[in-house]
Amino acid sequence: MKIYLQADRILVANKAIDFRKSIDGLCALIVDEYGAAPTDGLFIFYNKSRDKIKIIGHHTNGFMMIYKRLEQGHFFVELSDEKVRINRQQLEWLMLGVDWKLLARSNKKYSTYY
């Protein structure tokens, strides 16, 4: 299956979340914790063991949530004091479960992230 995600702004949460939260809870978290509007891009959240991610985005007339669980291994996300902004290619790498920071450093075209 090929899923094409596109947004001007893609942010990765800087801490693990309670994965019982669904769209409404995550939208409230986006506003409260990150000071952003949930319609402003894609927001990526992960669980404590980093083997699951939820992506929240707004599409035309409503919100959507993508949930992915890795069969083995973990997603390469880390705790940080800063919001992490990534590009579409880095999102693809993240969703594959590969170390997107390492790939970004080795590929100059995708080396910028915030």
CA distance 106 to 37: 33
Residue 23 lies in a domain: yes
Residue 4 lies in a domain: no
Predicted confidence (pLDDT) at residue 110 exceeds the cutoff of 60:
no
Q: Which domain holds residue 28?
A: 10-110
**Is the CA virtual torsion 103, 105, 106, 108 positive or negative?**
positive
Percentage of the chain lying above the pLDDT 90 cut? 51
Which phi and psi (to 5°) does residue 12 adopt?
Answer: -105, 130
pLDDT digits (tens, 9 = 90+) for 4-58: 677 889 999 989 999 999 999 999 999 998 899 999 999 999 999 999 999 999 9
Residue 5 lies in a domain: no
Residue 72 lies in a domain: yes
Mean pLDDT, to the nearest integer, of 71-85? 83
Residue 42 lies in a domain: yes
Question: For 50, left (φ over 0), alpha (ψ -120 to 50), or beta?
Answer: left
Question: For 9, left (φ over 0), alpha (ψ -120 to 50), or beta?
Answer: beta
Confidence at residue 10, expressed as pLDDT on a 0 to 100 scale? 93
Reported pTM: 0.84
Residue 56 lies in a domain: yes
Residue 68 lies in a domain: yes
Residue 3 lies in a domain: no
The structural domain count of the chain equals 1
pLDDT band at 114 (very low <50, low <70, confident <90, very high): very low
Predicted confidence (pLDDT) at residue 65 exceeds the cutoff of 90:
yes
